[in-house]
Amino acid sequence: MTPAARISAAIEVLEDLIQRRRPAADALKDWGLSRRFAGSKDRAAIASLVYDALRRKASSAHVMGSETPRALMLGMLARQRGLDLEQIAALFTGEHHAPAPLESEEVDRLVALSLADAPDWVRADVPEWLWPGFASAFGPDAVAEGEALAGRAPIDIRANRLKTTRDRLAGELGHATPEPGAWSPDALRFQPGIDGRGPSLQAEPSFFAGGFEIQDEGSQLVTLLAGAKPGQTVIDLCAGAGGKTLALAALMANSGCLFATDLDARRLAPLHERLARSGASIVEIRIPRSRGHEPLAEIEGQADLVLVDAPCTGSGTWRRNPDAKWRVRPGALAERVRDQAEVLARAARLVKPGGRIAYITCSVLPEENDAAIEAFLGRNAGFATVPPAEILASEHGDFSLLARFATGRGLQLSPRRTGTDGFYLACVRRGD
């Protein structure tokens, strides 16, 4: 396919996902299945165009004066990819499957390309209804934070301490040009190419040998700062596919007891294979038999640490899932807040006197972060916040610089602040 034909295809996919309010991945998959002539490079290029257009949906619609998929594509090509009018016109010829030629109003808008009169939520490419919370989280930096969340994300991996070291792994993957992580002592980073894709790391021998897992550096960092230690009893209460479970096992040096569970048993399925590959031997997976069943009832009040990777809107992962920010609705936020209260209540029953709960979200919204902890403390007088300085006092490195990202109750990471996804961490301790 020619570059112009790929743009036409991307506009078609955008039309489908916007009209049907479906995930971009589903629309792209259906498009590829119905057009077998498109090769893997074509599909990757089309996906990159679609995701980039969604990253800048609000600002592109503003500068082009329209929310049509074509307008979103034109705005993105000019603002995100930096194409000038001549380059865009060469792609929009109407010939050989190219999009129709530019209209006079489109030309005028591409020349002006102004956001001078745009409201802050448009400049930040954040949904309007979410802007008050977003602005509250970041204050005068909110627009810049939104712009950072609209960028592309790198690929991060976590070196598995049970099998290798970061330096050794960097040597094995040297052909892919890894960079050491800025914060996590186990992180290596790979920058995406022009098409938005990174190296095929899951095809590497060291991956099959369990030497590393793909995990954002922010996720690695909040797991490390949760404070798990060898010999402890630790619970990963919302384990899902087990990314943080595996990191906890490595931090505990395979010493102690580590329980992994999730209310949705289906999400735990990939963890079995990942555990076998990783060499983690202290993990016991507990599967709930029903919605109301507590699979950890016999160890209530015994855990040194309960890690709560809480269900949330995922606003901190918008770089990786740009379509998600335009599909989330107020009802979903309210539902997530209720879920967070429920899982924190479970954690409170499981942690022992003197133990801690590490509450983690991949969100930047105060309603899911500080507000959730404040509500929990209001319902549980026997718990108190662990000061950020104590959280950052880790034997795994010097994290004192992160103190500037402290919130009222915890720490807030973000692409602009830390170069990671937008993770939040707060720790609370149960009184003796």
Q: Which residues are catalytic?
A: 362
Q: Which residues of 301-322 are buried (b: 16+ CB within 10 A; e: fewer)?
A: eebbbbbbbbbbbbbbbbbebb
In whole angstroms, give the CA distance from residue 362 to residue 360: 7
* Among the listed residues 267, 272, 221, the one whose alpha carbon sits nearest the alpha carbon of residue 244: 221
In whole angstroms, give the CA distance from residue 385 to residue 383: 7
Residues belonging to the binding site for S-adenosyl-L-methionine are 262, 309
Residue 406 Rama label (left phi>0; alpha psi -120 to 50; beta):
beta
In whole angstroms, give the CA distance from residue 211 to residue 278: 7
CA distances from 262 to 49, 271, 356, 405 (A): 35, 11, 19, 30
